[in-house]
Each structure stands twice: as structure tokens, then as C-alpha cells.
Amino acid sequence: MNNLPRTNTARLAQQIQFVIELDKLKTVLRQTLLTDASRRENSAEHSWHIALMAIVLAEYSPVPVDVLRVIKMLLVHDLVEIDAGDTFCYDLQHNDSKSDRETEAADRLFGLLPADQAADLRSLWEEFEAQQTADAVFACSLDRLQPLLNNQQTQGGTWKANGITCDRVLQRMAPIAIGAPELWEFVQQLLEDCMTKGFLEPEREETQGMSGGA
């Protein structure tokens, strides 16, 4: 980082340093392709997309959600990937070590902020991870729905590239059944449609834990 000039307060210096650090999330690539299939999506633009989805789709939560809390949660939910990287959701092996890597990342990243703000944003991240509140479950539903749409738009993009079958996608999308039941019906129809069109394969007879390419 280029040195910054002195700020009036140590608090502002910490906040500006955090803001500059955020930029790195733009270089963390996910497996998902953009809808035009031109490149992989990064975690910063993904976070923007689902934050805006929270506004547009809030009415589908079966219980009222606090939209500001949901948006804040979604804006910070992937920050830990700056240090821990994005772990492909269907990669069972690397998901084993994910929690430890991400906790360490959270210590460093939220630790850049003044203590009150660090505690506030970290607790939102932890709430998202724990999936025990209505806000967190709805937020998670959007985090699952967006790559589904992108995979549909790219004719099976990540699924086809990694041999992911419909049963595994359905399992991954399960939070939507609770967080946004009306959307769950749409998700099931979409997956049926993707199978009909050959964008997605049905369950294989012998499912192996994690196929080499996935």
C-alpha cells in the first residue's frame, strides 16, 4: 500500500485503510461466469448483485426481514475471501479447511477497523455463517439464487465445466426453500428446464464424493 498522509484521527486512518483493503475482493474470482460467458465473476461484483437482489426480492421472505441488515450482511459476507480465497461450493476437500482459513481472515480484515465497527461487521458475517436468523437465511437464499441464474444463462456454465449433477445443485439451493419458498418453486422449474435443454445432467447412478474436475 502506498503511504497515506496523516489523518486527523487514528479512527479515520483505520477506516481509510479498511476501505483501501476492500479493493482486493475485486481480484478474487469465483467459479460462476458472467451471463455473457465472457469471464469468471469476482466476489465484489457478486456481492453488489445480491445486495441489489435483496431490495428487489425482499417480499419473498416468509417472515419480515430487516433489509438494511440483510444488505450489510451481503456486502461483507465474502470479505474473508481476500485472504482465504473463494472455495468452490462443490469442492468437498477444500471446504473442510474453509472455516479455519476464514476465521483467521476475519481476525485480520475486520481487525483493521475501529473496535466498534469491527465488532458490528464481524457479528453480521458470523450471523450469515451460522444461518440461525431470518435475515441470514434470506441473505443466503440470494447468495444461492444468483449463480443459479448465471448458470442457466450460460447454458450450464459451471455445472457442465465441473460435471455437477442436478441432485447436488438442488442440495446447494435448499436454503431457498426456507428463505424464500415462492422462489423455491421457480428454482425447481428452472432446474427441470435446464435438464430438458441439456444444460444440467440428472443424478448419476454411482455418485462419487467429489469428482476430479468438480
HSE-up of 114 (CA within 13 Å, CB side)? 9
**Rounded Cα distance, 74 and 32, in Å:** 17
**Rounded Cα distance, 107 and 100, in Å:** 11
Contacts of 194 (CB under 8 A, 6+ apart): 151, 152, 156, 159, 166, 200
Q: Of the candidates 87, 150, 158, 165, which one interacts with a copy of itself according to CB under 8 A?
A: 150
Q: Of the candidates 182, 198, 204, 211, which one interacts with a copy of itself according to CB under 8 A?
A: 182
* Part of the chain binding a copy of itself (CB under 8 A), chosen from 82-90, 146-154, 165-173, 201-209: 146-154
Our CB check for a copy of itself shows the closer of 147 and 175 to be: 147
Q: Are the C-beta atoms of residues 74 and 50 closer than 8 Å to each other?
A: yes
Interacting residue ranges for a copy of itself, rule: CB under 8 A: 1-2, 4-8, 12, 15-16, 18-20, 22-27, 34-36, 38, 41-42, 44-45, 47-49, 51-53, 55-57, 67-68, 71-72, 75-76, 113, 117, 121, 146, 149-150, 152-153, 155, 182-183, 185-186, 189-190, 192-193
